[in-house]
């Protein structure tokens, strides 16, 4: 029988014009220390982003979001951050910043296992 474990997650937001503080949810990242799990799911709705700011660089935003996913996976091609421990990578990703990609506050949940966790978070927060 699996044991329950707590996990932390944050929503990745695309903020095309930081001064306006408008954003769309475009990803979710989850970390569970007990299950040794770190993952990101990305879904950028280009039409919604263009509705916020017609001049938004969709491909640049997509590249930054994909970099987060690759960092979570520990992809060595993603640079030195991807070589850190899972905990360090998660904390780097969720650090507040004033760039086009911003994390939400961190939230906590409980899971029995990580199978299906990202599917559930994606459905709940990314309008997929």
Positions in the chain short of pLDDT 50: none
> Given the structure tokens 């559930």, which residue do they identify?
120
Domain boundaries, the chain: 5-125
User: How far apart are the C-alpha atoms of 35 and 25, rounded to whole Å?
Assistant: 26
pTM: 0.92
Contact at 8 Å (CB) between 92 and 82?
Answer: no
pLDDT tens-digit series, residues 21-35: 899 999 999 999 999
- Residue 128 has a pLDDT of 65
- Residue 17 has a pLDDT of 87
Closest CA to 93 of 66, 116, 113: 66
In 3-state terms the chain splits into helix, strand, coil percentages (rounded to 5) of 40, 25, 35
pLDDT tens-digit series, residues 96-118: 887 899 999 999 999 988 999 99
- Residue 21 has a pLDDT of 85
Contact at 8 Å (CB) between 67 and 40?
Answer: no
């Amino acid at each position: 029988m699996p044991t329950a474990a707590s996990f932390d997650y944050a929503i990745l937001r695309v903020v095309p014009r930081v001064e306006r503080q408008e954003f769309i949810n475009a990803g979710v990242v989850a970390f569970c220390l007990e299950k040794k799990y770190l993952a990101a799911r990305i879904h950028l709705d280009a039409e919604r982003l263009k509705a916020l700011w017609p001049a938004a660089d969709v491909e640049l935003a997509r590249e930054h979001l994909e970099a987060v996913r690759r960092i979570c996976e520990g992809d060595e091609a993603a640079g030195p951050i991807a070589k850190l421990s899972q905990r360090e990578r998660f904390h780097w990703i969720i650090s507040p910043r004033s760039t086009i990609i911003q994390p939400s506050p961190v939230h906590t949940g409980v899971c029995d296992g990580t199978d299906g966790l990202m599917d559930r978070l994606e459905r709940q927060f990314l309008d997929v």
